[in-house]
Amino acid sequence: VLVNNSIENMEREAITSLYEQRHIRVYLALNPFRCTCDLREFYYWLKNSSQCLDAGRLICSEPEDRRGTPVVKLRVEDMDCTTENLETVSYVFLGIVLALIGVVFLMVLYLNRRGIKRWLNNIREACRDQMEVYHYRYEQDTDPRLANVAV
């Protein structure tokens, strides 16, 4: 008798044990079953076994849309985990796509490294030329001989 024990789900090992010991009879009413895809094995056991003598009194407590529904009245579609697995698959797919984009970007950089090096040298030369002009102008403006000359 496992009545009113706050059992939300039955583990696969427990269900396998019940399958192996057909002479055992259980009472599971008044437990707050969480009717998600994790309950699928237990659901199939209830449908295919006569070991649970109060199977009609097992009620879902979660999720909200299934609250109060008898477990045996659920449909197979209610036990489907594809919607939960789709989210995981989409994150894996996103990671793979981002990794491929990163690899392609690195390949483009590697294959164009000489052009990038030339471009950076041109920018450095342009900056150096600008700094030399600025430095030269700074030296002229700070010439002490010209400090007393009125402009």
CATH number of the domain where residue 64 is located: 3.80.10.10
If you average pLDDT over residues 110-117, what whole number do you get?
93
Q: Is pLDDT of 95 > 60?
A: yes
* 94 and 116 part of one domain: yes
In which domain, by residue range, is 130 found? 82-145
* 46 and 96 part of one domain: no
Place of tokens 């009413």: 29
Q: Given this model, what pLDDT does residue 49 score?
A: 83
Instruction: Tell which of 79, 96, 121 closes a domain.
Output: 79
Residue 138 belongs to a domain: yes
pLDDT tens column, 4-27: 566 777 778 887 887 788 888 888
How far is Cα 54 from Cα 47, in angstroms, rounded to an integer? Answer: 12
If you average pLDDT over residues 94-104, what whole number do you get?
96
Q: Given this model, what pLDDT does residue 139 score?
A: 57
The structural domain count of the chain equals 2
3-state class of 34 per DSSP? strand
- Encoded amino acid at 19, one letter: Y
Query: Which residues, at least 6 apart from 63, have a Cβ–Cβ distance to it below 8 Å?
Result: 34, 35, 36
* 24 and 62 part of one domain: yes
